[in-house]
Structure 1
């Protein structure tokens, strides 16, 4: 696992929990309370928009990466199950022609032949 993948795992674990949500709420509350400190209301609004945009972009990239890897892991598990099922069906198909056809349909459906 690369450094980036480990970072994504840690980030995914942290941002999907309540403390991260509370940090976001605190940032918004502090921003809202800070309005008297700003002489220009437009700059005050730009500050939160900039922070929110940067955080949103980073989270989108990190969470999409984590989601893609989770999908790939689930697909690999399904492929292993399909391979095992096809092997079991094939071992029993000696006496049953319909079962052999089912094995072939299973292999075609999940692309088992292309992966080997």
Structure 2
């Protein structure tokens, strides 16, 4: 199988359903959108709309409460979404590192048959990443 076929298969696999819930897909889409310039523009537009709405409120205190409430609600929702996305990203990176460590451990084990000094390094690597407990 050529590299291009492998890359094509990998790209297709990314698009397939991978058992994620609707919430997980929503978090990923939200994470993508809030990290782009249009979201910043929307936030700026909200602040500008709030600023020019001053004459519509009977006093400055209620006018300030509006922006505080809106910003607090948006901040809380974004915090939860972004923390969820960050946690899943961290778990994915950890799993990739574990797979790399496992492959390295297997490679070192096969080489240890020819070079017994690698046995200790293999043991330390497996202990460090907990490969024995995971399998």
Normalising by structure 1, report the TM-score: 0.98
Measure, in 2, the Cα distance between the counterparts of 1:48 and 1:95.
Answer: 69
Superposition deviation, residue 94 in structure 1 = 1.2
What's 1:89 paired with?
A: 108
**1:27 and 2:46 matched:** yes
Q: Give the match's secondary structure for 2:67.
A: helix
TM-score scaled by length of structure 2: 0.84
Residue correspondence of structure 1 range 9-48 to structure 2 within 5 A = 9-48=28-67
Q: Which runs of 4+ in 1 moved over 3 A?
A: none
1:8 aligns with 2:23: no
* Residues in 2 aligned to 1:95 and 1:75: alpha-carbon distance in whole angstroms: 31
> Distance in 1 between the 2:57 and 2:43 partners?
21
State the match for 2:95 in structure 1.
76
List alignment gaps of at least 5 residues for structure 2. 1-19
Counterpart pick for 2:74 among 21, 30, 55: 55
Structure-2 residue corresponding to 1:112? 131
Q: CA deviation at 1:98?
A: 1.7
Unaligned runs of 5+ in 1: none
Task: Select between 93-102 and 41-50 the one with higher mean Cα deviation.
Answer: 93-102
**Worse-matched range after superposition: 87-96 or 55-64:** 87-96
Higher RCO structure (Cα 8 Å, ≥6 apart): 1
